[in-house]
Chain A
């Protein structure tokens, strides 16, 4: 409490009741708290929405098909660093190349699913009789090709190719025979494979 009549030589400044102006420190503190909370909340929301656009597959694609912009859609996702490096960001543009495997709609386009060109070796045509291969076999699937001996050695069975990728399947001709083209690998087929394909009866087993 201020007491008059002290050692001061003249009038003392009056201690007066504070009036509630807008400069009230409590009001200023309240405004600072509100503004700070708003800024912090906005920053957190912005950080939570810090997603990156990646390419995903919009319609089904098959192994060997060229990558086209029409088959791709943009999706936003926030993924960790290691996973992000396997995906194809939109910022890098439409990737060029071909699909290295079949993709279903909605699947994220990964870097290993797109190659500059599908590595293919020699194409080995095989004539397959009716009923010796799955009727719905199609390009991109993998098959084992078995050869059986002639009438003199009916129990002689050899496997000519293992997990060979089907490149094309022809329509059946008038006898029901179809031509199957498989990938024989970079080194091409062995001579005995060519001989067996020409002489023996072939059976195609779809493995995948």
Chain B
């Protein structure tokens, strides 16, 4: 029988001497390393084969991200004499009963899909500023005005702009703070990082700088969105263009993961030759990563291009094999006024054709199932 290989990260917890003595007595358990801190533990699982990690839930640096990395590495995390469920630790070890760990086996964690939550709408599009954030803001403004409890999450890791678009002066990144709370098992505090813009509309501001994306762990953001879906009918996520997941540390993994989870994916492209080419390539890149057929929105359409709306729609249908959902006209004066006022377009230019068309899209998104 192979001995159970243990790593202990007690970080000065009171139970450490008793656990070490018990391990020394039990021949079925091998202590691979007594880690001085969480960083030492992560280094250990990279260098040795570890079956179980005994953890002190109060250890500095221990959060849901660390637990997720342990699980990914095949290590079973166990909280000693404490409940670690808030951090995603499913097992609890008792001093004097460590032998029971050998009998337990790792069961793959199943994703819980809560069908009663609000709808998750991801607004995404290729590079080139096709109007993702503006459309996300406009959709939220419309659904909130219709009385639907709406949350807008700025998840563009390449520099969120929604706070600027809405004239929000707070410099704290709501997304980063909410993800930090989820990592520390404080999911209930996610709502405290929301900013109320309207009776039915709250905002989670994005990252002010691109280099801060490392503070947003993908699964933590998923936890944030799950928490928001419990309190809101519609959760709209503004994603950055980047969906490249070539490496585990790529920021594109965040957008890719949200696209997989979203109930509705709105793909925004600019209705000009360059924008359409980027849109078609982006649709090909994400064809296998989206759970539902994306709703294609051709934005910034202007008649001065010489094309009619029907011609643009036909071109996309031929090139991408998908029929665009809507065409939104470019109302530059209204967009400029909204940006300067820091207010949604429907408040600044309610008669704009852009607004009237987005209203219809928002109603469709909020009511479709």
Q: List residues of A whose CB falls within 8 A of some B CB.
A: 1-6, 8-17, 19
Contacts and interface: CB of A to CB of B under 8 A. Distances in A.
Contacts of A2: 169-170, 172
A5 B193 CA distance: 5
Given A15-B169, A15-B170, A4 B195 contact: yes
A13 B191 CA distance: 12
A83 B289 CA distance: 103
Nearest to A3: B172
B72 to A, nearest CB: 28
A17 B341 CA distance: 8
Given A11-B202, A14-B195, A14-B197, A4 B174 contact: yes
B167 A19 contact: yes
Interface in B174-220: 174, 177, 181, 189, 191-197, 202-203
B342 interface: yes
Most B CB contacts (10 A, CB to CB) among A1, A3, A17 go to: A17
B168 interface: yes
Given A4-B172, A17-B169, A11 B342 contact: no
Contact of A14 (B192, B196, B341): B196
B153 interface: no
A88 B195 CA distance: 79
Interface residues of B, number: 23
A4 B177 contact: yes
Contact of B195 (A1, A6, A12, A19): A12
In order of increasing CB-CB distance, the 7 nearest A-B pairs are A11-B194, A17-B167, A14-B195, A11-B196, A4-B193, A16-B167, A11-B202
A111 to B, nearest CB: 73
A5 B192 contact: yes
5 contacts: A2-B170, A4-B172, A5-B181, A11-B191, A15-B170
B343 interface: yes
B340 to A, nearest CB: 8
A2 B202 CA distance: 15
B168 A14 contact: yes
B197 to A, nearest CB: 5
A3 B171 CA distance: 8
A4 B181 contact: no
B221 interface: no
Contact of B189 (A1, A5, A14, A15): A5
A125 B75 CA distance: 152
A8 B167 contact: no
A4 B202 CA distance: 13
Nearest to B203: A14
Contact of B343 (A5, A10, A11, A19): A19
A3 B205 CA distance: 12
A16 B205 CA distance: 13
B195 A13 contact: yes
Given A4-B170, A19-B167, 4 more contacts: A4-B194, A14-B168, A14-B197, A19-B342
A6 B168 contact: no
B192 A11 contact: yes
A88 B166 CA distance: 75
A11 B168 CA distance: 14
A12 B192 contact: yes
Interface in B41-84: none
B158 to A, nearest CB: 22
A115 to B, nearest CB: 81
Contacts of B195: 4, 11-14
Contact of A15 (B168, B194, B202, B341): B168
B192 A1 contact: no
Nearest to A10: B191
A100 B310 CA distance: 106
